[in-house]
Amino acid sequence: MNPSEGSYRGRLAPSPTGYLHLGHARTFWTAQQRARANQGTLILRNDDLDGARCRPEFVAAMLEDMRWFGLAWEEGPDCGGPHGPYAQSARHEIYRHALEQLRAGNFIYPCTCSRKDIQAASRAPHAAEDDEPIYPGTCRHRTMAVAGQRYSWRFRVPDGEVIGFKDVNLGPQQFVAGRDFGDFIVWRHDDVPAYQLACAVDDAAMGITEVVRGADLLMSTARQLLLYRALGLNPPGFYHCKLLLDETGKRLAKRHDALSLRALRQAGKSPELLR
Ligand code: GLU
Ligand code: ZN
């Protein structure tokens, strides 16, 4: 037997901020197929970082809809496993430790700018959400927090450096730090870790060998590669799926209620048909 056989570890990482739709199902189905094809293990992680937007009823619905669709996992919040806890809301200490490491390495700085991207930082910047203007660097010089002022922690990107990786599905990818994306939030001023940090830290801590996600997160992958390097972690492989678009060419989103797995099930559609 090939010694690497069975060592593949993939993950499904939904955020319980609404009902899952066909776009999620398609990415998750691909993730499951990748894991099966590699005799691997599939992990379910509940990405419930943002307490203000995540709700317990969505967690229950998420598990139910995923099972209905035909997804199965070997480790997760419902079945446990050696790399738990499997809900991000229970992993703050792990993120805090990573934050300290970034701080010790002088990779981050306290930023007092109050922009809406700080609120948005805990969710993955899907599609059009990722066209934020490059952060102008107002606080880049700061090394210490200003007494009495609220601040977030921002990662200082290496301006001009080409961040390249070979995507398993889409081939070679390249982004230029400081041009395609700028300094990004790793920790919100209200003490919530940002998606980019939590995701990279968890994928590494859970021993994920390949991340399957939508192509709208390609630039987040580039950001996360910088975090892996700064934290001295080994990055996984990446498989980005092409996006499902609606009839007007827009990415499917939670606003397409009719395409939620719930609605499709209620309309009598079978998982086989949807796949
Ligand atoms: N929880 C994130 C989301 O729902 C995960 C994205 C990723 O695959 O990294 O978009
Ligand atoms: Zn700032």
CA atoms of 15 and 153, how far apart (whole Å)? 23
- The amino acid present at 148, given as its one-letter code, is G
Fold that domain 91-201 belongs to in CATH: Glutamyl-tRNA Synthetase; domain 3 (3.90.800)
Nearest CA to ligand 1 atom 5: 13
pLDDT tens-place values along the chain, 275 residues long: 444 445 999 999 999 999 999 999 999 999 999 999 999 999 999 999 998 889 999 999 999 999 999 999 999 999 999 999 999 999 999 999 999 999 999 999 999 987 666 667 888 888 666 767 788 888 999 888 778 888 999 999 999 999 999 999 999 999 999 999 999 999 999 999 999 999 999 999 999 999 999 999 999 999 999 999 999 999 999 999 998 777 777 766 656 666 899 999 999 999 999 98
pLDDT in tens, 249-275: 776 665 666 689 999 999 999 999 998
Please tell me the predicted confidence (pLDDT) of residue 1.
43
Ligand 1, closest atom to CA 214? 8
Ligand 1 center–CA 124 separation, angstroms: 6
Q: Is the CB of 15 under 6 A from ligand 1?
A: yes
Residue in the block written with tokens 């809809």: 65
Q: Report the predicted TM-score, pTM, of the whole model to 2 decimal places.
A: 0.93
Residue identified by tokens 């079945």 is 79
Residue ranges near ligand 2 (ion) with Cβ within 5 Å: 111, 113, 138-139
| Domain 1-90+245-275 class, CATH top level | alpha beta
Q: Is 210 in the pocket of ligand 1 (CB under 6 A)?
A: no
Phi-psi region at 112: left, alpha or beta (left = phi > 0; alpha = psi -120 to 50): alpha
Nearest CA to ligand 1 atom 6: 124
Distance 148 CA to ligand 1 centre (A): 34
The ligand placed nearest to the CA atom of residue 183 is 2
Q: Quote the pLDDT of residue 248.
A: 77
Domain ranges in the chain are: 1-90+245-275, 91-201
C-alpha to C-alpha distance for 256 and 258, rounded to whole angstroms:
6
Distance of alpha carbon 42 from alpha carbon 31, whole angstroms: 8
- The whole-number pLDDT of residue 127 equals 63
Pocket perturbation via mutation, ligand 1, pick of 199, 208, 225, 228 by most ligand atoms within 8 A of CB: 199
